[in-house]
Structure 1
Amino acid sequence: MLPVVIDAALCKKDELCVHECPLSVLTVEEKGTVPTVHPKKAGYCINCGHCMAICPTGAITLSAFDGRQATPFAKENLPEPDAVEGLIKSRRSIRKFKKKPITATEIGELIHISAYAPSGHNAQPVSWTVLDTPKKVHELGEVVVEWMQEMVRQKNPLAEKLFLAGLVNAWKKGNDVICRNAPAIAVAWAPKLGITPQADTVIATNTLELAAHARGYGTCWAGYVVLAAAYSPKVLDFLGIPEGHMAHGALFLGHPAVKYRAIPPRHEAVAEEIDGKYIFKAKPNTH
Protein backbone atom coordinates (compact mmCIF):
# COMPACT_ATOMS: atom_id res chain seq x y z
CA MET A 1 0.00 0.00 0.00
CA LEU A 2 1.30 3.44 -0.93
CA PRO A 3 1.92 5.76 2.05
CA VAL A 4 0.22 8.77 0.40
CA VAL A 5 -3.15 8.61 -1.37
CA ILE A 6 -4.28 11.49 -3.58
CA ASP A 7 -7.88 11.89 -4.73
CA ALA A 8 -7.56 12.86 -8.39
CA ALA A 9 -11.03 14.40 -8.40
CA LEU A 10 -10.05 16.87 -5.65
CA CYS A 11 -6.45 17.51 -6.67
CA LYS A 12 -5.77 20.97 -8.16
CA LYS A 13 -2.46 19.79 -9.63
CA ASP A 14 -0.73 22.77 -8.00
CA GLU A 15 2.23 20.61 -6.87
CA LEU A 16 2.27 22.23 -3.43
CA CYS A 17 2.58 18.82 -1.81
CA VAL A 18 5.44 17.86 -4.09
CA HIS A 19 7.50 20.89 -3.17
CA GLU A 20 6.63 20.67 0.55
CA CYS A 21 7.47 17.00 1.17
CA PRO A 22 10.72 17.06 3.20
CA LEU A 23 11.88 13.73 1.76
CA SER A 24 10.72 14.16 -1.85
CA VAL A 25 8.35 11.20 -1.62
CA LEU A 26 5.95 12.81 -4.08
CA THR A 27 6.69 13.60 -7.70
CA VAL A 28 4.93 14.56 -10.94
CA GLU A 29 5.61 12.68 -14.14
CA GLU A 30 4.35 15.51 -16.29
CA LYS A 31 3.35 19.11 -15.62
CA GLY A 32 -0.35 19.46 -14.94
CA THR A 33 -0.87 15.89 -13.76
CA VAL A 34 -1.78 14.47 -10.36
CA PRO A 35 1.29 13.86 -8.19
CA THR A 36 2.30 10.29 -7.46
CA VAL A 37 4.51 8.53 -4.96
CA HIS A 38 8.06 8.23 -6.25
CA PRO A 39 8.59 4.49 -6.81
CA LYS A 40 11.99 4.50 -5.14
CA LYS A 41 11.04 6.72 -2.20
CA ALA A 42 7.80 5.24 -0.91
CA GLY A 43 9.65 3.85 2.10
CA TYR A 44 11.00 7.29 2.98
CA CYS A 45 7.62 8.68 4.07
CA ILE A 46 7.67 9.66 7.77
CA ASN A 47 3.92 10.43 7.96
CA CYS A 48 4.60 14.02 8.99
CA GLY A 49 1.46 15.17 7.18
CA HIS A 50 3.01 18.22 5.53
CA CYS A 51 1.40 17.20 2.25
CA MET A 52 -2.02 17.02 3.92
CA ALA A 53 -1.49 20.27 5.79
CA ILE A 54 -0.63 22.27 2.68
CA CYS A 55 -3.26 20.83 0.33
CA PRO A 56 -6.06 23.43 -0.09
CA THR A 57 -8.70 20.91 -1.18
CA GLY A 58 -8.18 18.03 1.26
CA ALA A 59 -7.23 15.69 -1.56
CA ILE A 60 -4.54 13.85 0.39
CA THR A 61 -4.71 11.15 3.04
CA LEU A 62 -2.05 8.97 4.63
CA SER A 63 -2.40 5.21 4.70
CA ALA A 64 -0.82 5.08 8.16
CA PHE A 65 -3.88 6.89 9.54
CA ASP A 66 -6.49 4.79 7.76
CA GLY A 67 -7.51 7.54 5.39
CA ARG A 68 -8.52 10.01 8.09
CA GLN A 69 -8.88 13.56 6.83
CA ALA A 70 -6.83 16.52 7.99
CA THR A 71 -8.59 19.01 10.27
CA PRO A 72 -8.83 22.46 8.64
CA PHE A 73 -7.95 25.51 10.70
CA ALA A 74 -8.10 29.23 10.00
CA LYS A 75 -5.39 31.66 11.00
CA GLU A 76 -7.97 33.92 12.59
CA ASN A 77 -8.92 31.11 14.97
CA LEU A 78 -5.41 30.86 16.37
CA PRO A 79 -4.72 32.63 19.68
CA GLU A 80 -3.23 36.08 19.52
CA PRO A 81 0.49 36.35 20.35
CA ASP A 82 -0.35 38.05 23.66
CA ALA A 83 -2.52 35.08 24.64
CA VAL A 84 0.24 32.58 23.85
CA GLU A 85 2.76 34.71 25.72
CA GLY A 86 0.40 34.90 28.68
CA LEU A 87 -0.06 31.13 28.74
CA ILE A 88 3.69 30.56 28.77
CA LYS A 89 4.51 33.24 31.31
CA SER A 90 1.69 32.35 33.71
CA ARG A 91 2.64 28.68 33.94
CA ARG A 92 3.81 27.80 37.42
CA SER A 93 5.18 24.65 39.01
CA ILE A 94 2.33 23.49 41.25
CA ARG A 95 3.36 21.73 44.46
CA LYS A 96 0.04 21.83 46.30
CA PHE A 97 -2.92 19.97 44.87
CA LYS A 98 -6.58 19.64 45.76
CA LYS A 99 -7.78 16.17 46.69
CA LYS A 100 -10.01 16.26 43.59
CA PRO A 101 -8.87 13.47 41.26
CA ILE A 102 -7.69 13.79 37.68
CA THR A 103 -8.47 10.67 35.67
CA ALA A 104 -6.37 8.65 33.27
CA THR A 105 -8.90 9.59 30.58
CA GLU A 106 -8.34 13.30 31.19
CA ILE A 107 -4.57 12.80 31.15
CA GLY A 108 -4.93 10.70 28.01
CA GLU A 109 -6.47 13.68 26.23
CA LEU A 110 -3.40 15.72 27.12
CA ILE A 111 -1.13 12.91 25.94
CA HIS A 112 -2.87 12.93 22.57
CA ILE A 113 -2.25 16.68 22.28
CA SER A 114 1.42 16.10 23.13
CA ALA A 115 1.67 13.77 20.13
CA TYR A 116 1.69 16.91 17.98
CA ALA A 117 5.00 18.00 19.51
CA PRO A 118 7.95 17.86 17.10
CA SER A 119 10.23 14.84 17.16
CA GLY A 120 13.37 13.95 15.23
CA HIS A 121 12.44 12.60 11.80
CA ASN A 122 8.85 12.55 13.07
CA ALA A 123 9.69 9.30 14.85
CA GLN A 124 7.18 10.04 17.65
CA PRO A 125 8.91 7.55 19.99
CA VAL A 126 7.33 8.74 23.24
CA SER A 127 5.16 6.46 25.37
CA TRP A 128 3.63 7.27 28.73
CA THR A 129 2.95 5.60 32.05
CA VAL A 130 0.09 7.17 33.99
CA LEU A 131 -0.68 6.66 37.68
CA ASP A 132 -4.00 8.33 38.44
CA THR A 133 -4.47 7.68 42.17
CA PRO A 134 -2.62 9.19 45.16
CA LYS A 135 -2.01 5.66 46.44
CA LYS A 136 -0.11 4.57 43.33
CA VAL A 137 1.83 7.84 43.23
CA HIS A 138 2.82 7.34 46.87
CA GLU A 139 3.93 3.78 46.10
CA LEU A 140 6.14 5.18 43.35
CA GLY A 141 7.56 7.63 45.90
CA GLU A 142 8.43 4.75 48.19
CA VAL A 143 10.40 3.05 45.41
CA VAL A 144 12.22 6.31 44.66
CA VAL A 145 13.06 6.81 48.35
CA GLU A 146 14.35 3.25 48.53
CA TRP A 147 16.80 4.12 45.74
CA MET A 148 17.78 7.31 47.55
CA GLN A 149 18.49 5.39 50.74
CA GLU A 150 20.75 3.01 48.84
CA MET A 151 22.63 5.94 47.31
CA VAL A 152 23.16 7.42 50.78
CA ARG A 153 24.27 4.05 52.18
CA GLN A 154 26.83 3.70 49.37
CA LYS A 155 28.02 7.28 50.02
CA ASN A 156 27.55 7.99 46.34
CA PRO A 157 28.72 11.55 45.51
CA LEU A 158 25.32 12.19 43.95
CA ALA A 159 23.68 11.63 47.32
CA GLU A 160 25.62 14.48 48.92
CA LYS A 161 25.24 16.78 45.93
CA LEU A 162 21.45 16.41 45.88
CA PHE A 163 20.93 16.23 49.66
CA LEU A 164 19.30 12.83 49.33
CA ALA A 165 19.71 12.04 53.05
CA GLY A 166 17.62 15.08 53.92
CA LEU A 167 14.93 14.11 51.40
CA VAL A 168 14.75 10.60 52.84
CA ASN A 169 14.50 11.98 56.35
CA ALA A 170 11.70 14.36 55.33
CA TRP A 171 9.82 11.49 53.68
CA LYS A 172 10.07 9.37 56.83
CA LYS A 173 8.59 12.25 58.82
CA GLY A 174 5.58 12.37 56.49
CA ASN A 175 6.72 15.35 54.41
CA ASP A 176 6.30 14.24 50.80
CA VAL A 177 8.97 16.32 49.07
CA ILE A 178 9.32 13.62 46.42
CA CYS A 179 5.81 13.42 44.95
CA ARG A 180 4.18 16.47 46.58
CA ASN A 181 1.12 14.40 47.50
CA ALA A 182 0.09 14.64 43.87
CA PRO A 183 -3.06 12.82 42.77
CA ALA A 184 -1.48 11.65 39.52
CA ILE A 185 1.71 11.44 37.51
CA ALA A 186 2.47 11.00 33.82
CA VAL A 187 5.93 9.62 33.00
CA ALA A 188 7.24 9.93 29.45
CA TRP A 189 9.67 7.35 28.11
CA ALA A 190 11.25 6.32 24.83
CA PRO A 191 13.77 3.84 23.41
CA LYS A 192 17.36 4.53 24.41
CA LEU A 193 18.40 4.17 20.77
CA GLY A 194 16.90 6.44 18.16
CA ILE A 195 17.35 9.73 16.41
CA THR A 196 16.65 12.16 19.28
CA PRO A 197 14.68 10.20 21.91
CA GLN A 198 15.69 12.28 24.91
CA ALA A 199 14.88 15.59 23.25
CA ASP A 200 11.63 14.17 21.85
CA THR A 201 10.55 13.04 25.32
CA VAL A 202 11.33 16.37 26.97
CA ILE A 203 9.55 18.35 24.23
CA ALA A 204 6.48 16.11 24.49
CA THR A 205 6.45 16.53 28.27
CA ASN A 206 6.66 20.31 27.97
CA THR A 207 3.89 20.31 25.38
CA LEU A 208 1.67 18.29 27.73
CA GLU A 209 2.51 20.72 30.53
CA LEU A 210 1.30 23.73 28.53
CA ALA A 211 -1.82 21.87 27.37
CA ALA A 212 -2.58 21.02 31.00
CA HIS A 213 -2.10 24.64 32.08
CA ALA A 214 -4.47 25.80 29.32
CA ARG A 215 -7.13 23.47 30.75
CA GLY A 216 -6.67 24.66 34.30
CA TYR A 217 -4.68 21.71 35.61
CA GLY A 218 -1.56 22.14 37.69
CA THR A 219 1.71 20.37 36.93
CA CYS A 220 5.15 20.00 38.42
CA TRP A 221 8.15 18.29 36.86
CA ALA A 222 8.91 15.09 38.76
CA GLY A 223 12.66 15.49 38.73
CA TYR A 224 13.45 12.98 41.45
CA VAL A 225 11.40 10.32 39.67
CA VAL A 226 13.30 10.84 36.41
CA LEU A 227 16.61 10.88 38.28
CA ALA A 228 15.84 7.62 40.07
CA ALA A 229 14.64 6.02 36.83
CA ALA A 230 18.06 6.71 35.31
CA TYR A 231 19.75 4.55 37.97
CA SER A 232 17.17 2.20 39.43
CA PRO A 233 15.84 -0.82 37.49
CA LYS A 234 13.21 -1.17 40.22
CA VAL A 235 11.77 2.25 39.40
CA LEU A 236 11.65 1.37 35.71
CA ASP A 237 9.96 -1.92 36.54
CA PHE A 238 7.38 -0.21 38.76
CA LEU A 239 6.54 2.16 35.91
CA GLY A 240 6.29 -0.66 33.39
CA ILE A 241 9.09 0.76 31.25
CA PRO A 242 10.53 -2.07 29.13
CA GLU A 243 14.18 -2.93 28.76
CA GLY A 244 16.05 -0.72 26.33
CA HIS A 245 13.88 2.32 27.17
CA MET A 246 14.40 5.27 29.47
CA ALA A 247 12.24 7.92 31.15
CA HIS A 248 13.29 11.48 30.38
CA GLY A 249 10.23 13.46 31.48
CA ALA A 250 7.58 13.21 34.18
CA LEU A 251 4.85 15.50 35.45
CA PHE A 252 2.76 15.46 38.58
CA LEU A 253 -0.75 16.50 37.68
CA GLY A 254 -3.84 17.63 39.52
CA HIS A 255 -6.09 20.54 40.35
CA PRO A 256 -4.09 23.41 41.90
CA ALA A 257 -4.78 24.13 45.56
CA VAL A 258 -3.31 27.61 45.20
CA LYS A 259 -4.11 30.48 42.87
CA TYR A 260 -1.35 32.59 41.39
CA ARG A 261 -2.36 36.12 40.45
CA ALA A 262 0.72 37.67 38.88
CA ILE A 263 3.69 36.93 36.63
CA PRO A 264 7.07 37.44 38.33
CA PRO A 265 9.98 38.92 36.35
CA ARG A 266 12.71 37.00 34.59
CA HIS A 267 16.14 38.18 33.48
CA GLU A 268 16.25 39.10 29.82
CA ALA A 269 18.96 37.46 27.76
CA VAL A 270 21.66 40.00 26.97
CA ALA A 271 22.65 40.15 23.31
CA GLU A 272 26.28 40.45 22.32
CA GLU A 273 27.52 40.61 18.74
CA ILE A 274 30.71 38.62 18.14
CA ASP A 275 32.15 38.22 14.65
CA GLY A 276 28.77 38.74 13.00
CA LYS A 277 26.98 36.39 15.39
CA TYR A 278 24.51 37.43 18.04
CA ILE A 279 25.03 35.63 21.33
CA PHE A 280 22.09 35.89 23.73
CA LYS A 281 23.46 35.05 27.15
CA ALA A 282 21.08 34.14 29.91
CA LYS A 283 21.80 35.81 33.22
CA PRO A 284 22.32 33.03 35.79
CA ASN A 285 19.74 32.78 38.56
CA THR A 286 21.35 33.68 41.87
CA HIS A 287 20.44 32.15 45.21
Structure 2
Amino acid sequence: MIDFTIDVETCIGCGQCASDCPAMIISMETGIPTIAPDLEQFCIRCMHCVAICSEGSVSIHGYGPQEGLVLASEQVTKPEQLEMLIKGRRSVRNYQDENLDPQLIDKLIEVASHAPSGHNDRQLLYTLVDDKGVVYDLREEAIDGLEKLIEEKKLPEGMEMFVDIIKAWKNSGTDILFRGAPHLLVVSAPQENAAPLQDCLIALTTFELYAQTYGIGTIWNGLAMLTISELVPALKKKLGIPEDHQIGYVMGFGYPAIQYERTIKRDKPQVHRVS
Protein backbone atom coordinates (compact mmCIF):
# COMPACT_ATOMS: atom_id res chain seq x y z
CA MET A 1 0.00 0.00 0.00
CA ILE A 2 1.29 3.45 -0.91
CA ASP A 3 -1.39 5.31 1.09
CA PHE A 4 -2.28 7.73 -1.70
CA THR A 5 -4.69 10.18 -0.05
CA ILE A 6 -6.52 13.21 -1.43
CA ASP A 7 -8.13 15.93 0.69
CA VAL A 8 -11.34 16.26 -1.33
CA GLU A 9 -12.25 19.45 0.53
CA THR A 10 -9.25 21.32 -0.90
CA CYS A 11 -8.51 19.46 -4.17
CA ILE A 12 -9.49 21.58 -7.20
CA GLY A 13 -9.15 18.74 -9.72
CA CYS A 14 -6.48 20.54 -11.76
CA GLY A 15 -4.77 17.28 -12.70
CA GLN A 16 -1.21 18.55 -12.25
CA CYS A 17 -0.30 15.56 -10.07
CA ALA A 18 -1.46 13.19 -12.82
CA SER A 19 0.31 14.98 -15.66
CA ASP A 20 3.59 15.17 -13.72
CA CYS A 21 3.63 11.57 -12.46
CA PRO A 22 6.72 9.86 -14.00
CA ALA A 23 5.05 6.46 -13.72
CA MET A 24 1.81 7.79 -15.24
CA ILE A 25 -0.33 5.88 -12.75
CA ILE A 26 -2.54 8.71 -11.43
CA SER A 27 -5.97 8.89 -13.05
CA MET A 28 -8.32 11.88 -13.21
CA GLU A 29 -11.31 9.95 -14.56
CA THR A 30 -13.47 10.79 -11.53
CA GLY A 31 -12.31 14.39 -11.37
CA ILE A 32 -10.28 13.57 -8.26
CA PRO A 33 -6.81 11.95 -8.45
CA THR A 34 -6.83 8.19 -7.89
CA ILE A 35 -4.37 5.32 -8.28
CA ALA A 36 -5.73 1.87 -9.08
CA PRO A 37 -4.53 -0.81 -6.63
CA ASP A 38 -2.90 -2.86 -9.41
CA LEU A 39 -0.83 0.16 -10.44
CA GLU A 40 0.54 1.02 -7.00
CA GLN A 41 3.51 -1.29 -7.56
CA PHE A 42 4.81 1.06 -10.25
CA CYS A 43 5.10 4.07 -7.93
CA ILE A 44 8.78 5.09 -7.67
CA ARG A 45 8.27 7.15 -4.48
CA CYS A 46 9.37 10.40 -6.14
CA MET A 47 6.54 12.32 -4.43
CA HIS A 48 6.16 14.71 -7.35
CA CYS A 49 2.43 14.58 -6.68
CA VAL A 50 2.92 16.07 -3.20
CA ALA A 51 5.44 18.67 -4.40
CA ILE A 52 3.38 19.98 -7.31
CA CYS A 53 -0.01 20.30 -5.61
CA SER A 54 -0.78 24.02 -5.26
CA GLU A 55 -3.51 23.36 -2.70
CA GLY A 56 -1.56 20.92 -0.51
CA SER A 57 -4.21 18.25 -1.04
CA VAL A 58 -2.03 15.21 -1.79
CA SER A 59 -0.37 12.79 0.64
CA ILE A 60 1.47 9.57 -0.17
CA HIS A 61 3.61 7.05 1.70
CA GLY A 62 2.58 8.72 4.94
CA TYR A 63 4.10 12.03 3.81
CA GLY A 64 1.93 15.12 3.42
CA PRO A 65 2.36 18.77 2.42
CA GLN A 66 2.66 19.93 6.02
CA GLU A 67 6.03 18.16 6.32
CA GLY A 68 7.61 19.91 3.33
CA LEU A 69 9.21 23.33 2.98
CA VAL A 70 7.28 25.92 0.98
CA LEU A 71 9.28 26.99 -2.08
CA ALA A 72 9.01 30.77 -1.76
CA SER A 73 10.66 32.63 -4.64
CA GLU A 74 12.44 35.05 -2.32
CA GLN A 75 14.18 32.15 -0.56
CA VAL A 76 15.60 30.57 -3.72
CA THR A 77 19.32 31.18 -4.22
CA LYS A 78 20.05 33.94 -6.70
CA PRO A 79 22.02 33.01 -9.85
CA GLU A 80 25.02 35.16 -8.92
CA GLN A 81 25.20 33.56 -5.46
CA LEU A 82 25.21 30.05 -6.87
CA GLU A 83 27.74 31.09 -9.51
CA MET A 84 30.08 32.33 -6.77
CA LEU A 85 29.64 29.10 -4.82
CA ILE A 86 30.48 26.94 -7.84
CA LYS A 87 33.37 29.05 -9.11
CA GLY A 88 34.80 29.52 -5.63
CA ARG A 89 34.96 25.80 -4.90
CA ARG A 90 38.49 24.52 -4.22
CA SER A 91 39.89 21.11 -3.37
CA VAL A 92 41.14 21.60 0.19
CA ARG A 93 44.34 19.79 1.21
CA ASN A 94 45.03 21.61 4.49
CA TYR A 95 42.63 21.17 7.41
CA GLN A 96 42.25 22.31 10.99
CA ASP A 97 42.90 19.51 13.45
CA GLU A 98 39.39 19.43 14.91
CA ASN A 99 36.16 17.52 14.56
CA LEU A 100 33.02 19.11 13.20
CA ASP A 101 29.84 19.23 15.25
CA PRO A 102 28.13 15.82 14.74
CA GLN A 103 24.75 17.52 14.29
CA LEU A 104 26.17 19.64 11.48
CA ILE A 105 27.54 16.54 9.73
CA ASP A 106 24.14 14.87 10.03
CA LYS A 107 22.55 17.96 8.47
CA LEU A 108 25.00 17.91 5.54
CA ILE A 109 24.23 14.27 4.78
CA GLU A 110 20.47 14.73 5.20
CA VAL A 111 20.46 17.55 2.64
CA ALA A 112 22.75 15.60 0.29
CA SER A 113 20.33 12.68 0.41
CA HIS A 114 17.85 14.82 -1.55
CA ALA A 115 20.11 14.64 -4.62
CA PRO A 116 18.66 13.02 -7.76
CA SER A 117 19.11 9.28 -8.27
CA GLY A 118 18.51 6.96 -11.22
CA HIS A 119 14.96 5.55 -11.15
CA ASN A 120 14.69 7.21 -7.73
CA ASP A 121 16.39 4.13 -6.22
CA ARG A 122 17.65 6.05 -3.17
CA GLN A 123 19.63 3.16 -1.73
CA LEU A 124 22.89 4.99 -1.16
CA LEU A 125 24.96 4.12 1.88
CA TYR A 126 26.81 7.05 3.47
CA THR A 127 29.71 5.48 5.35
CA LEU A 128 30.94 8.21 7.66
CA VAL A 129 34.18 8.41 9.64
CA ASP A 130 33.23 11.29 11.91
CA ASP A 131 36.16 11.36 14.34
CA LYS A 132 39.73 12.42 13.54
CA GLY A 133 41.10 9.69 15.86
CA VAL A 134 39.32 7.00 13.86
CA VAL A 135 40.65 8.55 10.64
CA TYR A 136 44.17 8.34 12.11
CA ASP A 137 43.74 4.63 12.93
CA LEU A 138 42.31 4.00 9.45
CA ARG A 139 45.29 5.75 7.90
CA GLU A 140 47.70 3.56 9.86
CA GLU A 141 45.95 0.41 8.65
CA ALA A 142 46.01 1.72 5.10
CA ILE A 143 49.72 2.49 5.29
CA ASP A 144 50.44 -0.97 6.74
CA GLY A 145 48.46 -2.63 3.95
CA LEU A 146 50.21 -0.60 1.27
CA GLU A 147 53.64 -1.35 2.77
CA LYS A 148 52.87 -5.06 2.65
CA LEU A 149 51.96 -4.79 -1.04
CA ILE A 150 55.25 -3.04 -1.75
CA GLU A 151 57.34 -5.52 0.27
CA GLU A 152 55.69 -8.46 -1.50
CA LYS A 153 56.11 -6.69 -4.86
CA LYS A 154 52.36 -6.86 -5.44
CA LEU A 155 51.75 -3.15 -6.00
CA PRO A 156 49.98 -2.92 -9.37
CA GLU A 157 51.77 -1.28 -12.27
CA GLY A 158 51.03 2.43 -12.41
CA MET A 159 50.62 2.70 -8.64
CA GLU A 160 54.25 3.48 -7.86
CA MET A 161 53.27 6.86 -6.37
CA PHE A 162 52.17 5.02 -3.24
CA VAL A 163 55.82 4.34 -2.43
CA ASP A 164 56.45 8.07 -2.10
CA ILE A 165 53.17 8.54 -0.23
CA ILE A 166 54.29 6.07 2.44
CA LYS A 167 57.75 7.63 2.66
CA ALA A 168 56.23 11.08 3.19
CA TRP A 169 54.13 9.79 6.10
CA LYS A 170 56.94 7.77 7.68
CA ASN A 171 59.67 10.39 7.28
CA SER A 172 57.86 13.66 7.96
CA GLY A 173 54.29 12.89 8.98
CA THR A 174 53.01 14.42 5.75
CA ASP A 175 49.60 12.90 5.05
CA ILE A 176 49.20 12.71 1.28
CA LEU A 177 46.85 9.73 1.51
CA PHE A 178 44.01 11.38 3.48
CA ARG A 179 45.28 14.97 3.20
CA GLY A 180 44.88 15.50 6.92
CA ALA A 181 41.10 15.67 6.69
CA PRO A 182 39.47 14.96 10.06
CA HIS A 183 36.49 13.25 8.44
CA LEU A 184 35.87 10.86 5.57
CA LEU A 185 32.67 10.11 3.69
CA VAL A 186 32.43 7.03 1.47
CA VAL A 187 29.27 6.82 -0.62
CA SER A 188 28.30 3.48 -2.12
CA ALA A 189 25.27 1.86 -3.73
CA PRO A 190 24.06 -1.65 -4.58
CA GLN A 191 25.55 -2.71 -7.92
CA GLU A 192 22.09 -3.79 -9.10
CA ASN A 193 20.78 -0.22 -8.95
CA ALA A 194 19.94 1.60 -12.15
CA ALA A 195 22.90 4.00 -11.84
CA PRO A 196 25.01 3.18 -8.76
CA LEU A 197 28.14 5.13 -9.69
CA GLN A 198 26.30 8.18 -10.97
CA ASP A 199 24.04 8.29 -7.91
CA CYS A 200 27.07 8.36 -5.60
CA LEU A 201 28.82 11.12 -7.54
CA ILE A 202 25.71 13.30 -7.70
CA ALA A 203 25.18 12.91 -3.94
CA LEU A 204 28.79 13.79 -3.15
CA THR A 205 28.65 16.84 -5.43
CA THR A 206 25.53 17.99 -3.59
CA PHE A 207 27.23 17.36 -0.24
CA GLU A 208 30.28 19.34 -1.31
CA LEU A 209 28.38 22.41 -2.48
CA TYR A 210 26.18 22.51 0.60
CA ALA A 211 29.20 22.04 2.89
CA GLN A 212 30.74 25.20 1.43
CA THR A 213 27.88 27.30 2.76
CA TYR A 214 29.08 26.37 6.26
CA GLY A 215 32.71 27.13 5.49
CA ILE A 216 33.60 23.43 5.28
CA GLY A 217 36.26 22.31 2.84
CA THR A 218 36.25 19.05 0.88
CA ILE A 219 38.59 16.91 -1.20
CA TRP A 220 37.63 14.31 -3.82
CA ASN A 221 40.16 11.75 -2.63
CA GLY A 222 41.14 9.42 -5.45
CA LEU A 223 44.10 8.02 -3.50
CA ALA A 224 41.87 6.95 -0.63
CA MET A 225 39.36 5.61 -3.15
CA LEU A 226 42.01 3.38 -4.77
CA THR A 227 43.30 2.23 -1.41
CA ILE A 228 39.92 1.26 0.03
CA SER A 229 38.29 -0.18 -3.08
CA GLU A 230 41.26 -1.92 -4.73
CA LEU A 231 44.61 -1.99 -2.98
CA VAL A 232 43.67 -2.76 0.63
CA PRO A 233 40.18 -4.29 0.35
CA ALA A 234 40.25 -5.25 4.03
CA LEU A 235 39.51 -1.59 4.70
CA LYS A 236 36.20 -1.88 2.86
CA LYS A 237 35.21 -4.69 5.20
CA LYS A 238 36.43 -2.75 8.24
CA LEU A 239 34.27 0.20 7.20
CA GLY A 240 31.25 -2.08 6.93
CA ILE A 241 30.62 -1.46 3.25
CA PRO A 242 28.58 -4.39 1.83
CA GLU A 243 30.26 -6.67 -0.70
CA ASP A 244 27.55 -6.04 -3.28
CA HIS A 245 28.06 -2.28 -3.14
CA GLN A 246 29.96 -0.20 -5.65
CA ILE A 247 31.95 2.59 -4.05
CA GLY A 248 31.27 5.83 -5.88
CA TYR A 249 34.04 7.89 -4.33
CA VAL A 250 35.70 8.93 -1.09
CA MET A 251 35.50 12.52 0.16
CA GLY A 252 37.56 14.06 2.93
CA PHE A 253 36.14 17.10 4.70
CA GLY A 254 36.59 19.48 7.61
CA TYR A 255 37.31 23.11 8.41
CA PRO A 256 40.08 24.43 6.15
CA ALA A 257 43.36 25.65 7.64
CA ILE A 258 43.67 28.08 4.72
CA GLN A 259 41.41 30.59 2.97
CA TYR A 260 41.08 31.23 -0.74
CA GLU A 261 40.54 34.88 -1.65
CA ARG A 262 39.16 34.78 -5.19
CA THR A 263 37.94 32.65 -8.06
CA ILE A 264 40.31 31.66 -10.87
CA LYS A 265 40.11 31.61 -14.65
CA ARG A 266 39.29 28.40 -16.48
CA ASP A 267 39.81 27.66 -20.16
CA LYS A 268 36.81 28.23 -22.36
CA PRO A 269 34.60 25.11 -22.25
CA GLN A 270 34.48 22.89 -25.30
CA VAL A 271 30.95 22.96 -26.69
CA HIS A 272 29.73 20.94 -29.65
CA ARG A 273 26.42 22.32 -30.83
CA VAL A 274 24.22 20.04 -32.85
CA SER A 275 21.82 21.83 -35.19
TM-score, scaled relative to structure 2: 0.92
CA–CA separation in structure 1 for the residues paired with 2:22 and 2:146: 46
Aligned residue runs from structure 1 range 1-287, under 5 A = 1-30=1-30, 33-63=31-61, 65=63, 69-152=67-150, 153-160=153-160, 163-173=161-171, 174-231=173-230, 232-273=232-273, 277=274
Q: Which segment drifts farther, 9-18 or 232-241?
A: 232-241
- Between the two structures, name the one with larger relative contact order (CA 8 Å, sep ≥ 6): 2
CA–CA separation in structure 2 for the residues paired with 1:9 and 1:124: 33
CA–CA separation in structure 2 for the residues paired with 1:24 and 1:147: 52
CA–CA separation in structure 2 for the residues paired with 1:73 and 1:132: 32
CA–CA separation in structure 1 for the residues paired with 2:15 and 2:80: 35
Aligned pairs, how many?
Answer: 271
CA–CA separation in structure 2 for the residues paired with 1:147 and 1:68: 51
CA–CA separation in structure 2 for the residues paired with 1:53 and 1:129: 29
> What CA deviation, in whole Å up to 9, does each residue of 1:97-135 have, x standing for no partner?
112321332211111001111000111121112112221
TM-score, scaled relative to structure 1: 0.88
Shift of 1:23: 0.4
CA–CA separation in structure 2 for the residues paired with 1:5 and 1:225: 47
Aligned CA distance change for structure 1 residues 272 and 121 (closer, same or farther; 3 Å) = closer
Shift of 1:34: 1.0
Q: Which segment drifts farther, 175-184 or 15-24?
A: 175-184
What amino acid is aligned across from residue 96 of structure 2 in structure 1?
Answer: K
Q: Which segment drifts farther, 66-75 or 39-48?
A: 66-75
Q: Which segment drifts farther, 78-87 or 186-195?
A: 186-195
CA–CA separation in structure 2 for the residues paired with 1:82 and 1:65: 34
Residue pair 1:130, 1:187 contacting (<8 A) in 2 also: yes
Residue pair 1:99, 1:183 contacting (<8 A) in 2 also: yes
CA–CA separation in structure 2 for the residues paired with 1:10 and 1:223: 52
> What CA deviation, in whole Å up to 9, does each residue of 1:197-232 have, x standing for no partner?
111001101100001001111111222221122223
Shift of 1:154: 1.3
> What CA deviation, in whole Å up to 9, does each residue of 1:155-183 have, x standing for no partner?
421323xx111111112121111112221
Which consecutive residues of structure 1, in runs of 5 or more, have no partner in the other structure? Answer: 279-287
Shift of 1:144: 2.5
> What CA deviation, in whole Å up to 9, does each residue of 1:78-97 have, x standing for no partner?
11111111001111111111
Q: Which segment drifts farther, 61-70 or 145-154?
A: 61-70
* Identity among equivalent pairs (%): 31
CA–CA separation in structure 1 for the residues paired with 2:242 and 2:200: 16
What amino acid is aligned across from residue 188 of structure 2 in structure 1?
Answer: W
> What CA deviation, in whole Å up to 9, does each residue of 1:34-81 have, x standing for no partner?
110133311111111111111001111121548863321112321111
CA–CA separation in structure 1 for the residues paired with 2:154 and 2:68: 55
Residue pair 2:50, 2:64 contacting (<8 A) in 1 also: no
